[in-house]
Structure 1
């Protein structure tokens, strides 16, 4: 059975995600689509709109056969580490391909850019370092160094535009696969409809997850998002709305975050992963002075620190994820199974002896520092939503969908 892997967050799952799964299957002629999905906290430093179990069910009802969890240590990291963790999991699960959505839509420009940066590695890294020293953010420095490197090339080969968010992630996936000498082949499909960060719901069938979340938080209703979601996803979100006091967001999590910042103070905050250069003092003052997340963020935002970078620091503060804890986690060490279809279960039964990492379907039977972090993060996510039930990860078993929808 040929398997293709994709890296996802599904925050929430929408029509564009369903198209990605469909086209990935078609493009690579795969029988099985495996998604490695972030847990309850995401790469841009945000609590997930709904938890990993609800998002797993959405995926399995809309074209995904197996969902593995991307551990917190990778799911909340900057793009290279995020990509490294995801690719290692897909490689360990014996995927034949990995397929990502991109603004470019063709794999050759990615391969050309990989070759160019390999040839110009020393100069490229020097340009990044110099740009950072001039006070611009790391992502901006990388983009500037890349543009300058491409402009010096006179071969007229097409290169990928690394100012686009999906292109950037795709490029990191390819770099990660190369670093581990993976046998997986890379494939890409063009992203359709709204842009990755587009906040508006336009007159079309595909909107960004950002736009869908923004629509809900502005109107407090899911009605305007219905056309952009598969029917099963809309019903699952309606059910979530009935069972919970809120959808996941920093707005609802901020009272707890503020308490943690004020309780711990700058000295303790300085030990939290990614907190650096004295920004813990600014965080403390902002928490003292602001009782809303927007007010807090507009105080601490600067040219040096992107909104996403700050949110990642806040995620680690919220979960208590320290530099010391992160130093102990270097690579994925297991495959945390969140769900499968009937076809997915058949694949697991046929291939699991060939997997490079053990499958974890019951957390009580497996011990690992990274898994402990995921369980801890899930508990804190539940608290942020006002839920009293803890240790759901111990109680839930992998979701099983008999027929792929």
Structure 2
């Protein structure tokens, strides 16, 4: 059976994701599509709109055969480590290829750009440090260093978010002992961060979440942009838990963490550096909600995303030491769901896997400690009854199985 892997968040699953899954299968001529999906907290440092079980069902109802979880240690990360974890898991599952969406839409520029940047690493690194010392954020310093050294000569535009992720996917794959075949398809219509819905059938997840928030949870306006199954799953989630998840739900918990921790304790949390702990603590005394807090904390040096990721780690009390150990390598593959085709494939490969394939978390609590803690904190944004229900599903629910 031929397999293709995709890296996803599905926050929520929309028509653009459906196009990606279909084109991945078609481009790879694959029998099985495997999605490695972030859990309850995402790459840009925010809680997922709905829990991972609901997003798994959305995927399996729309062209994905197997969904596995990208562990917390890799999911709430900058692109380099996010890609490392995802590509390692797809490789462990014996994917023949992986397929990612990009603004560029052609593979050759990714390969050529990686080659040229690796050749020039010794010259680029000092330039990055130079711009960071001038007060620029790390991503901006990287951009300025590339522009300074290469001018307009690089074939890939690394200011685009999907191109950036694709660059790191291809680079992570390149260093594997037996690399998969990389494939890319051009991103359709809406840009990654496009905040409006527009007139087409494909909108960004950002635009869809913004529309849901503006309509106070009403879903009718997003109906043209998501598959019918996604629309139904979102309705079901709202009826079950009363709320979709967003940062302001966790503001009292985060504010307590910031105010009850010393600056020395905050400095030990992962992604907290360069004295930002003082700014975080002082701002937490004044802000009345998460949005107000973020607007006051953000500076030229710290991007919104970088700050949010640090705040997730503070919220979960995840230290630099804890993450350093966990980030060394992927240690397990947790199955979230599969259909009949996926089940047939897993039964063929599971004995050849070098890592445990986890279907019952109760037997792997120590190994899954960070993922389980992420779910516990994620559940605290809900009412007591709803929180208990979500936690019960984390420890007791078997993988989602669809026909």
Counterparts of residues 5-404 of structure 1 (less than 5 Å): 5-151=5-151, 159-220=155-216, 221-329=218-326, 330-369=328-367, 371-386=368-383, 387-389=386-388, 390-402=391-403
Distance 2:298 2:24 in 1: 38
Distance 2:194 2:30 in 1: 30
Cα deviation, residue 295, structure 1? 1.1
- Equivalenced residue count is 397
Q: Is the 8 A contact 1:132 1:138 kept in 2?
A: yes
Q: Is the 8 A contact 1:93 1:356 kept in 2?
A: no
Q: Is the 8 A contact 1:60 1:340 kept in 2?
A: yes
Q: Is the 8 A contact 1:375 1:391 kept in 2?
A: no
| Partner-residue secondary structure (3-state), 1:44 | coil
Distance 2:365 2:244 in 1: 30
When normalised by structure 2's length, the TM-score is 0.96
Distance 1:244 1:172 in 2: 36
| Partner-residue secondary structure (3-state), 1:95 | coil
Distance 2:48 2:124 in 1: 35
Distance 2:178 2:8 in 1: 20
276-285 or 207-216, which moves further after superposition?
276-285
Q: Is the 8 A contact 1:378 1:391 kept in 2?
A: no
Distance 2:175 2:392 in 1: 36
* Structure 1: unaligned runs, 5 residues or longer: none
Q: Is the 8 A contact 2:381 2:387 kept in 1?
A: no
70-79 or 113-122, which moves further after superposition?
113-122
CA RMSD after TM alignment: 1.4
Cα deviation, residue 251, structure 1? 1.4
34-43 or 106-115, which moves further after superposition?
106-115
When normalised by structure 1's length, the TM-score is 0.95
Q: Deviations over 1:85-141 (max 9, x none)?
A: 000000000000011000000001111111211222211222222222221111111
